[in-house]
Amino acid sequence: MPTPARSGPHPEAPAAPGAGQEEIRRQNLGAVLRYVHLRGPTSRAELTIRLGLNRSTIGALAADLAATGLVTEEAPTTARRAGRPSLVVSPRSGGVYAQALSIESDRLRAACVGLGGRLLDLREVGRPPGMPPADAVGPLAALVRDMERGLAEGARCAGGAVAVADTTRDADGRIRIGRADAGLGAALHAEFPPGPGFVAGDLADIAALAEHVRGVAVGLEDVVYLHGDLGVSAGIIAGGRLVSGHRRHSGKVGHMVVNPNGLPCGCGSRGCWETEISAAALLRHAGREPAEPGAVGEVLRAAARGERTARAAVDRVADWLGLGVANLVNVVNPGLVVFGGSLREVYAAGAGVVRGRLDGSALPASRERVRLRAAALGRDAALIGAAELAFDQLLADPLNAGVAVQEETGHGSTDGGVP
Amino acid sequence: MPTPARSGPHPEAPAAPGAGQEEIRRQNLGAVLRYVHLRGPTSRAELTIRLGLNRSTIGALAADLAATGLVTEEAPTTARRAGRPSLVVSPRSGGVYAQALSIESDRLRAACVGLGGRLLDLREVGRPPGMPPADAVGPLAALVRDMERGLAEGARCAGGAVAVADTTRDADGRIRIGRADAGLGAALHAEFPPGPGFVAGDLADIAALAEHVRGVAVGLEDVVYLHGDLGVSAGIIAGGRLVSGHRRHSGKVGHMVVNPNGLPCGCGSRGCWETEISAAALLRHAGREPAEPGAVGEVLRAAARGERTARAAVDRVADWLGLGVANLVNVVNPGLVVFGGSLREVYAAGAGVVRGRLDGSALPASRERVRLRAAALGRDAALIGAAELAFDQLLADPLNAGVAVQEETGHGSTDGGVP
């Protein structure tokens, strides 16, 4: 079939105005900075090839970025063939950082992430049951201040972002679905006032973004990332873009009804997917108490040793996991499904069963081309993704995002390098 | 929450080159033509406001489009206030048309659709059970040739598109899922050789596009369009763009498993959504034979009259319809769900039950803001959507799509109007 159906733009959209020289320079600076941010140190020669710009342009762009403290340029350390070496452009990880936060069901985490994605420092504290997200901002800000004292002198903050889990535990132990956003924006504004702004988003969406930018899903257009915590939610990437939904509530896949005669769910419905695949379901099948710390790991290890009850519990959860994955494969037709959060280990323990159920329940055309993978970034995915969100503004307009040092010598002053 | 998480572009993407004057003119011509194509006759004065361009620019663009036969310009017929009247720009519906085809489960349809979306002519023949899509192209081409003889002299074809249903009936009566694309492209190329190209796509996707461009979903960013025929599939629009999937197989929502202990499905799985909501399911619950022609309409009418068995059958199907809609609302968070094809009447007959089940099974945050609507375009949706696909190339570059008349007098020669 030659061509997909795509909706055209709305008729009101006026024709795009022509891009001026300043706009082109802005885009090119962003392309160079984004490249080294995502790919790491890169020679001017390689940037020339990868970005399709000519050598002198790359040289001038890299020099501008270096003059404003966003990258460094150095001669390569390894021996090379004849000719003058091409300078290597590196992101200034220690000099430019993002404040990355996550409000998870049972803990609060904060990291300073350097340009280039390097984790400079990380702190974690428990989240008491019932603590609203807005109340978590104060403790998180204290962690950030503490970390910032240890950063290199003159390090500049490019912005911040917070990933908020969509399922939390109330003070009485009950699981509550849906983020309580009330006051979160105001609390962030109060605690992080002078910076270049703070963004917030759903934890599964942000972890999906992290896997898409730096994990197992790099370069793929159609991905379903499943995140297990107290519940199960998803970040769905379609056509290279996150599906966020009409009110930013997409991806509540844990509440697909897959078993109408099943157990009541905390959401008020019955037979939701997460009643069959959550950690609580695994422990229930294994005859364990949900409150036992470390119990999930014990069940998975027992299953690996071949203990019958544990193995049966894992297989049962994996079968339901495969059934829901089949539904998502039929609906969204992803090229890759990623298992993250607590589902990472569950998938690893029952991968064969998951695939078997997928093969039994999804249409051949969709299931044959889909790969299943454990997440690459582990529990840091949300922080890594939050840092990517926080860097977005800088990468879109490197010199005007309030991060670049405004050198008196002007742009391009250090451009003595050989392209 | 201030900002959504979105995946950034890939680092390889070079900065966009600056748009030259020719490119700007091309975009502006497209914007004017697309506006009148979608909105109908529009005065130059209104185009000036809507497209944010100045009066002389709109005047020159409209004159260029008129000179090349894509639009007409006329003084308004209605009386106006003081001052010289603004010329009205109209798409030349009779002069420029698209070939729109649909290969449905039981019939083949062909239409000539004029610029502006006017149905100039339409033909339909039955599709014998077991006929592969490629074999349908010959009969469809014959219908098109027949219609073209009746079009205005000099009418020019802007291209063609075909919508192909994803469920068909084999010669032995068995329902088969998944389009047999084999040979379709070649057959189209053989039957429609000299034109500006032919595109093909999934019928539900194309009908969704039609509702998005000319139906109940105009201007909305997040829409699930459900299409009932032999099976049930969906066109999913997220962030204003169609979700097509890794291999263009997205939207097979009829094969979500919603009842693991339910009936076997033709796809090889069990308890798929369409086993509970298809026309066959409705007839089964009503105690009717699936093969009776017109039986679905009779059941719906009997239910409307309050006949108990029919009413119970409709309510049961509507309940399952609402459950699957709840799943999609939880996964995709659309602002609108549209019921099309055979689901249009089923929804109309059981709207209260559908909404009730949705409210019982979807998360409050998602369900409270979602509207449910019957499709606006009826059984012509696929043809209307196919025509939109076929016009895409012309609307993107009006003077260079091989449709514009190349007048010897050059561009802008008729520009004597008053903006």
Question: ipTM of the assembly?
Answer: 0.88
CA distance A153 to A94: 9
Residue B54 has pLDDT above 50, yes or no: yes
Dihedral sign of CA atoms A341, A342, A348, A352 in order: negative
Residue B194 has pLDDT above 90, yes or no: no
Q: HEC profile for chain B?
A: CCCCCCCCCCCCCCCCCCCCHHHHHHHHHHHHHHHHHHHCCEEHHHHHHHHCCCHHHHHHHHHHHHHCCCEEEECCCCCCCCCCCCCEEEECCCCEEEEEEEECCCEEEEEEEECCCEEEEEEEEECCCCCCHHHHHHHHHHHHHHHHCCCCCCCEEEEEEEEECCEEECCCCCEEECCCCCCHHHHHHHHCCCCCCEEEEEHHHHHHHHHHHHCCCCCCCCEEEEEECCCEEEEEEECCEECCCCCCCCCCHHHCECCCCCCECCCCCECEHHHHHCHHHHHHHCCCCCCCCCHHHHHHHHHHCCCHHHHHHHHHHHHHHHHHHHHHHHHHCCCEEEEEECHHHHHHHCHHHHHHHHHHHCCHHHHCCCEEEECCCHHHHHHHHHHHHHHHHHHHCCCCCCCCCCCCCCCCCCCCCCC
Chain B positions touching A206 (Cβ under 8 A) are 5
**Residue B154 Ramachandran class (φ > 0 left, ψ -120 to 50 alpha, else beta):** left
Residue A390 pLDDT class (50, 70, 90 cuts): very high
The alpha-carbon gap from A330 to the nearest alpha carbon of chain B, in Å, equals 5
The residue that leads in pLDDT, A41 or A6, is A41
If you measure CA to CA, which chain A residue comes closest to B232?
A331
Residue A10 has pLDDT above 90, yes or no: no
Cα–Cα separations (whole angstroms), residue B270 to A244, A354, B173: 30, 17, 20
CA distance A282 to A303: 11
The residue that leads in pLDDT, A84 or A209, is A209
Query: For chain B, what is the mean pLDDT?
Result: 88
pLDDT at res. B244: 93
Render A340-374 in DSSP notation, one character per residue.
EETHHHHHHHTHHHHHHHHHHHS-HHHHTT-EEEE
CB contact under 8 A, B252 and A366: yes
Tell me the pLDDT tens digit for each residue of B386-414: 999 999 999 999 998 888 776 544 444 33
By the 10 Å C-beta count (0-12 exposed, 13-18 middle, 19+ buried), B229 is classed as buried
Written as six digits, the tokens of B277 are 């909501």
Alpha-helix residue ranges (DSSP H) falling in A192-294 = 203-214, 273-277, 279-285
pLDDT at res. A159: 93
Place of tokens 């969709």: A366
Residue A53 has pLDDT above 70, yes or no: yes
If you measure CA to CA, which chain A residue comes closest to B177?
A363
CA distance A229 to A215: 19
**Residue A265 Ramachandran class (φ > 0 left, ψ -120 to 50 alpha, else beta):** beta
| Global confidence as pTM | 0.89
If you measure CA to CA, which chain B residue comes closest to A393?
B8
Place of tokens 């320079």: A25
CB contact under 8 A, A334 and B236: no
Three-state SS for A78?
Answer: coil
CA distance B384 to B38: 12
pLDDT at res. A2: 35
Let me know: does A227 contact A203? Beta carbons within 8 Å: yes
Mean pLDDT of A204-230: 96
Looking at residue A33, its amino acid is L
Residue B170 pLDDT class (50, 70, 90 cuts): confident
Angle at A198 between CA A195 and CA A200, to 5 degrees: 170
Identify the structural domains of chain B with CATH numbers, from first to last.
Answer: 98-207+381-390 (3.30.420.40), 219-376 (3.30.420.40)
B252-270 core/surface letters (b: 16 or more CB in 10 A; e: else):
bbbbbbbbbebeebbbebb
Q: What is the largest CA-CA distance in chain A?
A: 73
If you measure CA to CA, which chain B residue comes closest to A357?
B269
Helix axes A133-148, A184-191, angle to 10 degrees: 20
Written as six digits, the tokens of A260 are 């109408």
The residue that leads in pLDDT, B166 or B84, is B166
Phi, psi of B245 (to 5 degrees): 90, 170
Looking at residue B211, its amino acid is E
Residue B303 pLDDT class (50, 70, 90 cuts): very high
Three-state SS for A314?
Answer: helix
What percentage of residues in chain B have a pLDDT greater than 90? 73
The alpha-carbon gap from A287 to the nearest alpha carbon of chain B, in Å, equals 24
Three-state SS for A10?
Answer: coil
pLDDT at res. B85: 80
Q: Which of A3, A50, A200 is facing B1, going by the closest CB pair?
A: A200
What is the C-alpha end-to-end distance of chain A, expressed in Å?
44
Tell me the pLDDT tens digit for each residue of B79-119: 556 667 889 999 999 999 999 999 998 899 999 999 999 99
Mean pLDDT of B235-242: 97
The residue that leads in pLDDT, A23 or A273, is A273
The alpha-carbon gap from A294 to the nearest alpha carbon of chain B, in Å, equals 30
CA distance B252 to B234: 6
Tell me the pLDDT tens digit for each residue of A111-145: 999 999 999 999 999 999 889 999 999 999 999 99
Let me know: does A271 contact B361? Beta carbons within 8 Å: no
Interface test mutation site (partner B, options A27, A257, A370, max chain B beta carbons within 10 A):
A257
8-state DSSP, A148: H
Alpha carbons within 13 A on the beta-carbon side of A303: 26
Mean pLDDT of A357-374: 95
CA distance A9 to A7: 7
If you measure CA to CA, which chain B residue comes closest to A33?
B11
What percentage of residues in chain A have a pLDDT greater than 90? 73
pLDDT at res. A20: 73
pLDDT at res. B192: 87
CA distance A368 to A360: 11
Mean pLDDT of B8-37: 72
pLDDT at res. B361: 95
Report how many Cβ contacts below 8 Å link chain A to chain B: 320
A340-369 core/surface letters (b: 16 or more CB in 10 A; e: else):
bbbbbbbbebbbebbbebbebbbbebbbeb
Residue A180 pLDDT class (50, 70, 90 cuts): low
pLDDT at res. B14: 39
Tell me the pLDDT tens digit for each residue of A332-358: 999 999 999 999 999 999 999 999 999
pLDDT at res. B409: 42
CA distance A8 to B317: 35
pLDDT at res. A81: 60
Let me know: does A341 contact A166? Beta carbons within 8 Å: no
The alpha-carbon gap from A353 to the nearest alpha carbon of chain B, in Å, equals 16
Place of tokens 């069940």: A299
Tell me the pLDDT tens digit for each residue of B342-401: 999 999 999 999 999 999 999 998 999 999 999 999 889 999 999 999 999 999 999 988
Let me know: does A228 contact A166? Beta carbons within 8 Å: no
Written as six digits, the tokens of A267 are 């959401």
pLDDT at res. B84: 72
The alpha-carbon gap from A266 to the nearest alpha carbon of chain B, in Å, equals 10
Residue B309 pLDDT class (50, 70, 90 cuts): very high
Mean pLDDT of A297-307: 95
- DSSP lists the bridge partners of residue B90 as B72
CB contact under 8 A, A31 and B38: no
If you measure CA to CA, which chain A residue comes closest to B322?
A257
pLDDT at res. A196: 66
8-state DSSP, A195: S
Residue B177 pLDDT class (50, 70, 90 cuts): confident
Interface test mutation site (partner A, options B330, B366, B372, B393, max chain A beta carbons within 10 A):
B330
Mean pLDDT of A406-417: 42
Cα–Cα separations (whole angstroms), residue A335 to A372, A413, B224: 9, 46, 21
Let me know: does A165 contact A181? Beta carbons within 8 Å: no
Alpha carbons within 13 A on the beta-carbon side of B133: 29
Q: What is the CA radius of gyration of chain A?
A: 24
Query: For chain A, what is the mean pLDDT?
Result: 88
Tell me the pLDDT tens digit for each residue of B249-287: 999 999 999 999 999 998 999 999 999 999 999 999 999
Pairing of β B88-91 and β B42-43: antiparallel
What percentage of residues in chain A have a pLDDT greater than 70? 89
Chain A positions touching B8 (Cβ under 8 A) are 34, 213, 388, 392, 395
pLDDT at res. A76: 84
Cα–Cα separations (whole angstroms), residue A146 to A99, A135, B19, B97, B227: 12, 18, 48, 67, 56
Written as six digits, the tokens of A365 are 């055309």
pLDDT at res. A23: 87
What is the C-alpha end-to-end distance of chain B, expressed in Å?
44
Let me know: does B89 contact B42? Beta carbons within 8 Å: yes
